[in-house]
């Protein structure tokens, strides 16, 4: 184990004894307490900031962060997910417009490139803290008359179901690591090029019709991804090879 990783683990032990929002000792104090250089302490703390355990506040110090939210890779809405965790979900509409689908969206939504598509960008919040930027693309014929206020008052999936009679039952999703650009950083309130997850999802209704394409940027310092794993059934059923029979007359 390197000095930096050992120092990181020792600072992490300290964090676990503190409450969210508590200040941790200065780099100078930690350097003295742990018997390592300030450079090593700073590198270890940089790791913990990137991993979301610590938060630096300019001119104030370094503080214990809120725990990351474990994001399960399941078909659920942001609103439902936050409610299950006892957090208060909210949305702020950043942009709402209608434009032709174009070639790419036409392929994703299975519509003509000239089909009018609603593009809605929302800042998603939990207990007043920014969590993600979500941009929904949906054919206008599915959501006639939708407004920015509609998107702030309830889950989009609830809106689809209750007002438009469209029930989302499944979809396909891809996830990749990224960093925030200037606009994303400003909206989320994080430094430029902060770590993030990019989600892209295409969903379909119970009738099998493609309904929406969603692009989301989730803060990397507030999320970790969790999934359940299981072995394929055929692998579980595969018989073990039998031991070769040994001829007692042969050496």
pLDDT along the chain (251 residues), means of 10: 81 85 89 90 86 81 75 64 79 95 92 96 91 95 95 89 93 90 92 90 93 93 72 60 50 40
Quote the CA–CA distance of 110 and 72 in Å, as a whole number: 28
Give which of 41, 36, 37 is closest to 12, Cα–Cα.
41
Helix axes 3-16, 27-34, angle to 10 degrees: 110
Quote the CA–CA distance of 245 and 247 in Å, as a whole number: 7
Quote the CA–CA distance of 115 and 139 in Å, as a whole number: 7
Q: What's the token pair of residue 40?
A: 């090593």
Quote the CA–CA distance of 239 and 170 in Å, as a whole number: 35
pTM metric for this prediction: 0.65
Quote the CA–CA distance of 32 and 102 in Å, as a whole number: 61
pLDDT tens across 12-62, in order?
888 888 888 889 998 899 999 889 999 999 888 888 887 778 888 888 889
pLDDT tens across 69-88, in order?
555 555 666 777 777 777 88
Give which of 132, 141, 127, 98 is closest to 215, Cα–Cα.
132
Q: What's the token pair of residue 185?
A: 């950083």
Contacts of 251 (CB under 8 A, 6+ apart): none
What's the order of all strands across the beta sheet hosting 129-139? Answer: 89-100, 116-126, 129-139, 210-219, 195-205, 168-179
Which domains are present in the chain? 3-64 (1.10.10.10), 69-226 (3.40.1410.10)
Quote the CA–CA distance of 190 and 103 in Å, as a whole number: 33
Contacts of 216 (CB under 8 A, 6+ apart): 132, 133, 134, 135, 198, 199, 200, 201
């Amino acid at each position: 184990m390197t000095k930096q990783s050992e120092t990181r683990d020792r600072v992490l032990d300290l964090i676990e004894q503190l409450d969210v929002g508590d200040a941790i000792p200065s780099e100078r104090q930690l350097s003295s307490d742990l018997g390592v250089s300030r450079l090593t302490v700073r590198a270890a703390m940089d790791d913990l900031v990137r991993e979301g355990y610590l938060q630096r506040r300019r001119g104030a110090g370094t503080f214990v962060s809120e725990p990351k939210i474990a994001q399960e890779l399941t078909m659920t809405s942001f609103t439902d997910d936050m409610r299950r965790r006892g957090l208060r979900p909210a949305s702020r509409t950043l942009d709402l417009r209608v434009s032709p689908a174009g070639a790419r969206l036409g392929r994703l939504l299975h519509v003509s490139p000239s089909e009018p598509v609603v593009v809605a960008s929302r800042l998603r919040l939990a207990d007043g803290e920014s969590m993600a930027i979500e941009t929904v693309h949906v054919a206008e014929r599915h959501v006639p008359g939708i407004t920015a206020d509609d998107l702030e008052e309830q889950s989009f999936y609830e809106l689809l179901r209750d007002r438009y009679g469209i029930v989302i039952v499944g979809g396909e999703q891809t996830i990749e690591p990224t960093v925030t650009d200037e606009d994303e950083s400003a909206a989320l309130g994080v430094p430029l090029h902060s770590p993030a997850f990019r989600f892209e999802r295409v969903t379909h209704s119970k009738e099998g019709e493609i309904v929406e394409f969603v692009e989301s940027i989730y803060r990397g310092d507030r999320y970790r991804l969790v999934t359940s794993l299981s072995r394929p059934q055929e692998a579980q059923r595969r018989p073990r090879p039998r031991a070769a029979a040994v001829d007692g007359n042969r050496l």
